[in-house]
């Protein structure tokens, strides 16, 4: 599967006339893959606040579904930009978790995209924090994760 994904992504980028050095594909879990494109000029693929990354990810997901005939979750990244963002979000979340666990007072993370909110919710759920919970609050671009102590 990794070879098919690498080939499809490479052809996609060539058809868009985008220069790249390599395409790395990592299997995260069954039917879930992380694709990282290595490029000397990543700005075009990343776009403003990663908007182009998200657009290409959506397009590639549709292409994979049509060509492979099955649902495959693709996380598209360029020069590990998204991976660094994920690490930063989780670092901030860990700091807030420690604050909430110590003070027993709820605290909100800054507004973030649905992708990063989901990342925080899953991190807290999967890490076994039995004394805290999360909730998404707010509207639109101002939606954020609230970390709350369990009473």
Residue 100: what pLDDT? 95
Q: Are residues 64 and 94 in the same domain?
A: no
Q: Are residues 9 and 55 in the same domain?
A: yes
**Among the ranges given (38-42, 47-51, 67-71), the one the predictor scored with the smallest mean pLDDT:** 67-71
Residue 39: what pLDDT? 93
**Domain enclosing residue 120, as ranges:** 84-149
Closest-CA residue to 89 (of 56, 45, 122): 122
- How many structural domains is the chain composed of? 2
* Last residue within a domain, chosen from 46, 79, 112: 79
Q: Are residues 60 and 109 in the same domain?
A: no
Q: Are residues 95 and 60 in the same domain?
A: no
Q: Are strands 73-78 and 32-38 parallel, antiparallel or unpaired?
A: parallel
Residue 55 belongs to domain with CATH number: 3.30.300.20
Q: Are residues 6 and 75 in the same domain?
A: yes
Residue 140: what pLDDT? 85
Span 4-46, pLDDT tens digits? 889 999 999 999 999 999 999 999 888 889 999 999 889 989 9
Whose structure tokens read 């776009």? 47
Q: What 3-state DSSP class applies to 144?
A: strand
Q: Are residues 41 and 91 in the same domain?
A: no
Q: Are residues 98 and 121 in the same domain?
A: yes
Closest-CA residue to 20 (of 47, 40, 44, 35): 40
Give yes or no for a contact between 129 and 94, defined as CB atoms under 8 angstroms apart: no
Residue 106 belongs to domain with CATH number: 3.30.1370.50
Q: Are residues 72 and 6 in the same domain?
A: yes
Task: Kindly indicate the confidence band of residue 106, based on its pLDDT and cuts at 50, 70 and 90.
Answer: very high
């Amino acid at each position: 599967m990794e070879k098919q994904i690498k080939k499809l992504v490479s052809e996609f980028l060539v058809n868009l006339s985008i220069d790249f050095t390599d395409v790395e594909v990592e299997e995260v879990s069954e039917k879930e893959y992380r694709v990282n494109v290595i490029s000397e000029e990543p700005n075009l693929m990343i776009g403003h606040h990663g908007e182009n990354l998200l657009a290409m990810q959506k397009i590639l997901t549709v292409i994979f579904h049509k060509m492979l005939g099955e649902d495959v979750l693709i996380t598209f990244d360029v020069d590990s930009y998204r991976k660094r963002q994920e690490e930063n979000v989780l670092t901030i979340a860990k700091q807030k978790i420690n604050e909430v666990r110590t003070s027993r007072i709820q605290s909100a993370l800054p507004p973030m995209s649905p992708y990063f909110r989901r990342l925080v919710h899953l991190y807290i759920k999967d890490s076994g924090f039995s004394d805290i919970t999360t909730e998404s609050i707010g509207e639109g671009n101002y939606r954020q994760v609230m970390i709350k102590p369990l009473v």
